[in-house]
Amino acid sequence: MEKDVKEKDKKKEKSKHHHRKSHSESKNEKKEKENPTAIGTDDKQAKELKKMKAQAIDDLETLLEDNIKIPYINFKDAIGFLSLLKIPESVSSVLNTDEIEQMYLKYERTLREGVEGRFVQMLERNKLKIPIHQNWAEAGKVLVLEKEYSAVASDVIRAQLYQIWSNNLIELSLNELDQYVRNDPEFKSVLQKDFITIDDLRRVLRNNGAYKRLKNMKDERDRRIFRYIRQNAKPALRQEIDTLLAM
């Protein structure tokens, strides 16, 4: 009889253990269903993030390609232009500022070519067919009269008008030069500043062949231009130019 009791207790304990094991397994299965493994979750999140980034990059590419009015003179300041571009939330919420700036840098050439293409079209509509990098003096004269001048000024002229100064402006008459000063607000504002130095002039004539020749002043045409600038300049700049002209 004692043997029967022991056997019964043994079976009971075995059944109890099996129940605990089953309950534990069931609990784990439920936990796995509710909480997938960390690796699985990470993989899913990584794939989702990759997909969102790809879409964000695509959206930003479209924006950059479509909007050729983005200022491209100084792409280090690209982040400063983001508010003007109204970057969609689908982009700004996924890409960080560094990633967005890299996209700007990548599309600098695209934007530049788009803007220059529009400039060429403008000249072609005037039926002058001016090679864009060969006769800036003629191109400049057209711009002064061209109705689209103001529309193009923000993207083309601010960077490229200074090439006119460096390459062919010395070929213009003083009257034509006067037109440029009157029609180029940035240049005009620099000349009208209360405190102006030769560095201000350098900034306006940045990357400018005429400025490189300014130090030597060997060419009489250069002297003529800077004498003209002197007439329109404030006293501080006038003094700087006098010093250079006297060299």
Query: Tens-of-pLDDT digits for all 247 residues of the chain?
Result: 555 555 555 555 555 555 555 555 555 555 455 555 556 678 888 888 888 888 888 887 777 666 544 443 333 344 444 445 566 777 778 888 777 777 766 665 555 555 555 545 554 454 444 444 444 445 555 555 444 444 444 444 444 444 444 443 333 344 444 455 555 555 555 445 444 344 545 555 444 444 444 445 455 555 665 666 666 565 666 666 676 666 5
CA distances 160 to 87, 135, 220, 240, 245, Å, are 27, 13, 24, 25, 26
**Prediction pTM value:** 0.29
Res 156: pLDDT: 44
Helix (H) or strand (E) holding 24: helix 2-34
Report the alpha-carbon distance of residue 108 to residue 121 in Å, rounded.
Answer: 20
Identity (one letter) of the amino acid at 150?
S
Task: Compute the C-alpha angle 185/183/168, nearest 5°.
Answer: 110
**Cβ neighbours of residue 92 under 8 Å, at least 6 residues apart?**
82, 100
Report the alpha-carbon distance of residue 64 to residue 108 in Å, rounded.
Answer: 9
Res 158: pLDDT: 40
Q: Is 110 exposed, middle or buried (0-12, 13-18, 19+ CB in 10 A)?
A: middle
Q: Give the single-character DSSP code of 157.
A: I
Report the alpha-carbon distance of residue 245 to residue 214 in Å, rounded.
Answer: 9
Q: Which two tokens stand for residue 193?
A: 């500043």
Helix (H) or strand (E) holding 18: helix 2-34
Report the alpha-carbon distance of residue 29 to residue 217 in Å, rounded.
Answer: 87
